[in-house]
Amino acid sequence: MQSKNYPKHYCGVFGIFGHPNAAELTYYGLYALQHRGQESAGIVTCHDGKFYKHHGMGLVPQIFDPKILHELHGERAIGHTRYSTTGASSLRNAQPLTVDCMRGQIAVAHNGNLTNAAVLRDELENRGLVFQTTVDSEIIIMMLAQPTLGHVQNTIVQTLRRIEGAYSLVIMTEKEMIGARDPHGFRPLSIGRTDNGAWVLSSETTAFDLIHAVFVRDVEPGEVVIINEKGLTSIQAFPEHSKRALCVFEYVYFARPDSVIQGHTVYEVRKEMGRQLAREHKVKADLVIPVPDSGVCAAMGYSEESGIPYEMAFIRNHYVGRSFLAPTQLIRDFNVRVKLNLIASLVKDKRVVIVDDSIVRGTTARSRVKTLKDAGAAEVHVAVSCPPHMHPCVYGIDFPDRTKLMAANNTVDEIRKYLNADSLHYLSPEGMVKATGQDKSAFCMACYDGKYPVPFDPLLDKSIIERRKRLTQTLGEAAARENEQFKLLKVT
């Protein structure tokens, strides 16, 4: 599990159409996308017009076993692995979501965040619709279920034009599988094909490798791909929209290094970020070490460019769950050390550059510096392979609000002093973009520069729907009390 001091992952979506082992391949697809969310997962399959589904809390292998997968019948399936970015972490909020309506059965898996979710939900509830969850994804499925929107026939394109924000969707009906991306392309979504000709949709290409599927192409921003027995057809739902805004943090942290996004391998981009970091900040040191696993690629690049030797001085324990013991100082220290243990002999009396992908709150980075100095490191220099995080994300990453972002409230030197580091160096925004080999106009960099491509409610956060629901209930109870008091006055 990731430390609370790291940005949380959002979600992974996967779908397959036309394979006899659809549920099993979806399981493996979600397994490959597990890094995008570890709170819950689910699979929905379709056979002869009937949906079969299973959801659970926890990791993919904890939720599914051979018996469960055998009972998920059908040659098409969609799956989802979740970290909550809107709505609490609970089983009722696990995806894919399903509905049985006049248009038949529909299942939806969603990666991203809708910025107009609360407004749309109010609109639908005022029309009498009853919601079963507190996730913004249910708004999408409720809108898809409507035969008309705005007094005209509703289509997938009409629904997409009503929702705003970030979304990569995999949708399944009784006859089709549909993939869609928002017009900015905040979240990735790729198309693949298996040996038997089955179509595959996935948040990342790494899932294709696991199931021996071949990457075909990315779903374009604003594109809708419809897959059925006749093959794949494409619709551009936003033909006049040209602004692109892929989340640059996919390259920095979220995507797996073995994934390819927009034609660029994440592994190589991260190494280049490390090289660029070394070009921008020349440090006299004896050793470069990464924070596993997030800083490994950048540290390799930093070492290659600077000529400073690279060592894996921190060893990660991959089998760590949440501690169930009370948060005494002893246990807090244990939680830090059990995840990453230092080979002290490698750093004793050495000038060390420790490379990580980001600093959010700073407490974890501070503990790493302390561990190195306690082990006898002569100097500890911290190098970060992205710019300082100055602003919260409203498009599907659970970054904390500005009050909890270290860089939003402190200068670089103040952060250095807090970390007790001998120096602190961030990659520049220009260097980060240069490392991707793409133009700055291709990315959303709002968490760094505060320029949000899509307007949003300033009160927007993952609990906005729960808050509005509680407020509505409170107002309703108050109105009922006033009504009762009025009745009593009339009787008197």
What distance in Å separates the CA atoms of residue 388 and residue 184, rounded to the nearest whole number? 23
Is 11 one of the catalytic residues? yes
Q: Are 194 and 216 in contact (CB under 8 A)?
A: no
Question: Which of 11, 297, 386, 444 is flagged as catalytic?
Answer: 11
Question: Could you tell me which of 140, 149, 206 has the C-alpha nearest to residue 167?
Answer: 140
What distance in Å separates the CA atoms of residue 287 and residue 380, rounded to the nearest whole number? 10
Give the residues across from 76 on adjacent strands: 17, 46
What distance in Å separates the CA atoms of residue 168 and residue 143, rounded to the nearest whole number? 16
Q: Are 314 and 342 in contact (CB under 8 A)?
A: yes
Q: Are 436 and 241 in contact (CB under 8 A)?
A: no
What distance in Å separates the CA atoms of residue 108 and residue 142, rounded to the nearest whole number? 10
What distance in Å separates the CA atoms of residue 489 and residue 478, rounded to the nearest whole number? 17
Question: Which pair of tokens denotes residue 452?
Answer: 């949000």
Q: Which residues are catalytic?
A: 11
